[in-house]
């Protein structure tokens, strides 16, 4: 799936909605969501998508702001765990 997305990236950037809303991107996001992906770039992309949705439809702001906040906290946790693993690796590799 990622290979398909990369092969079509130049096409996607010219899509009227950009990357957001394109069927290939939607399919990839659904796959990542179904598999409970915790990839930081995916989570950051989700926050960007939510921001775009809030800007285009103010009535979604209350719901999406809460979801975006949850995703941001999840990213913070992932980055902290990553940093901890690096510190432990450095400590035990000496």
DSSP assigned state of 16: T
Contacts of 32 (CB under 8 A, 6+ apart): 39, 42
Q: Does residue 7 surpass a pLDDT of 80?
A: no
23 or 36: which leads in pLDDT: 36
The pLDDT value given to residue 57: 87
Q: What is the per-residue pLDDT across 8-21, written as a single tens digit (0 to 9) for each?
A: 555 555 566 666 77
**pLDDT per residue as tens digits for the range 39-52:** 888 888 889 888 88
In 3D space, the residue among 75, 19, 86 whose CA is nearest the CA of residue 44 turns out to be 75
How far apart CA 30 and CA 6 sit, in angstroms, is: 17
List of residues 6+ apart from 23 with CB closer than 8 A: none
- Tens of pLDDT, residue by residue over 54-86, are 888 889 888 999 999 999 999 999 889 988 999
């Amino acid at each position: 799936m990622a290979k398909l997305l990369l092969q079509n990236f130049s096409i996607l950037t010219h899509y009227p909605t950009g990357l957001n809303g394109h069927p290939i991107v939607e399919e990839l996001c659904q796959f990542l969501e179904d598999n409970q992906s915790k990839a930081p770039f995916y989570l950051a992309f989700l926050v960007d998508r939510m921001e775009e949705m809030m800007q285009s439809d103010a009535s979604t702001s209350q719901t999406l702001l809460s979801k975006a906040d949850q995703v941001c906290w999840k990213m913070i946790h992932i980055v902290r765990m990553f940093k901890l693993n690096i510190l432990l690796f450095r400590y035990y590799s000496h």
